[in-house]
Structure 1
Amino acid sequence: MKRIQNNVLVAIALLLGTFQVEAQEHSLTDEERQAKLDSIIAETERHFGWNDDTYSVKTAKEMWLSGDAKLLLQGGIAPLAYVGQEKFAKKYSVDYDDFGCIANCSDAQMAKYNTAIIDCLTAKFGKGWQDSIRKDVPRLDKYGVSVFNNIQYEGNGTATIVLPVIYKALGRSASDPEESGFVRDIIDCVSPTSMEFLYRGVEYYVPLSCNDGSGETPLENELIEITIRAFNPKVFRYSKNIKPYPFCVIEAINLLR
């Protein structure tokens, strides 16, 4: 098991190392950088047989709605069975899918998939599931951690974040009137409304982009995917009084239907 994991890490390190060298040789645009990263991810998936599309957030939503939801695990050569896990599955209609030694998707996709299922659990049952869930579920350790911790900003001072979230409501004021001038300086407008959503067990209010044309409104407690644009306060130099901090807007909404 360790040998396989080490080979994976070495291969990814070599690919990323090549990318870093090329990036140092000439300055990449955001588009070129993203295209190169997409290429690295695709090559890694091809080499190790990962299929992230099979474990998309849309699939997680479909499985949840059908009553066949499973949390993804990588238990090793000899998968473990935990006492009482069948009771968890029966009570919450969520079972476990243990990949064993070799995962069928990347760690990042496994984490995103599990986060979506766990937030569905929270939206329906509250947080009672935490007492009986297996503690080795990937991304469970990040539950309750703010999405705005350790954001990796691009050179232009912004970051694009795609999240699976539980929709709650629209309508809360996007910003205090006294802050409108600062917000307009950042995004050239002031959004008239914001969205309340749940992510990793934490509720947020984030303004919608003024150009948002998503049209149909999600259903309450529906699992959707949103694209957030965050602005680095060190670059845009706005006050900590602006909420949310760091300031961000929802640029796109994917209903996953």
Structure 2
Amino acid sequence: MKRESFVINDASASLIQAPLATPFRIATGQHDELANIFLRIRTSDGICGYGEAAVATHITGETVAATLVNLQTAATALRGRRIDDPEEVCREFAPAFAGNHAGLAALEMALLDTSSRVQGIPFYRLFAPVAAKEPLLSFDTDITIVIGSLDEARAAARQFAGQGFKAFKIKIGRDEELDFSRILAVREIAPDSELILDANMGFSAERILAFLNRLDKHAVRPVLLEQPVPKKDWDGLAAITAALAGSG
């Protein structure tokens, strides 16, 4: 698809902070507050595009402070520049964002968002020829049920099922018995839903396989298992893969 070029009149990056309505609890920690970097681009015609960097220091090693500096530097460099190809601009800036993928993602999103708004088209139309294949009207996504009490898991499952979600990512890894009960509760409330288990590195290979075997005896078979063991436990990941191969 031919894209219209645009001139960036102004660009700015700033920190946005806000308390979370529900603490985001996982096996390796907890977030009580949103602290992301917001990138805003404004064209010479007054059209604005936006990008956001969600930094997860405990997982990727990136920091909010470094991401803010990188995006502020990029914003300064973009002012007054004509953009013909957003992807090419991202490739140009990529070395400056080495090890800071959240920052580069925010830059990419802001440029592409601006491009779609300049052209007056839905965002997905930028991705031709994929978007040219019909139907491409909607897609399903999952919703996360964070670590918490059994009652909290039930309440979240009822709320999200009522909102139409059909896939639930359940955070596990702190308390196996409680995790087991939470998963069964979600399955009971949403019996036709897909379940994803995200352990955030909270298990060993032996423990997660035993845990999955227990669930299987209750006819609960997750469609995806995410981060079951510490990220450098290659042997554990290989053992899990081998054990689950062909399990369906």
Indicate whether the TM-score tops 0.5: no
- Scaled by the length of structure 2, the TM-score of the pair is 0.28
Larger Rg: 2
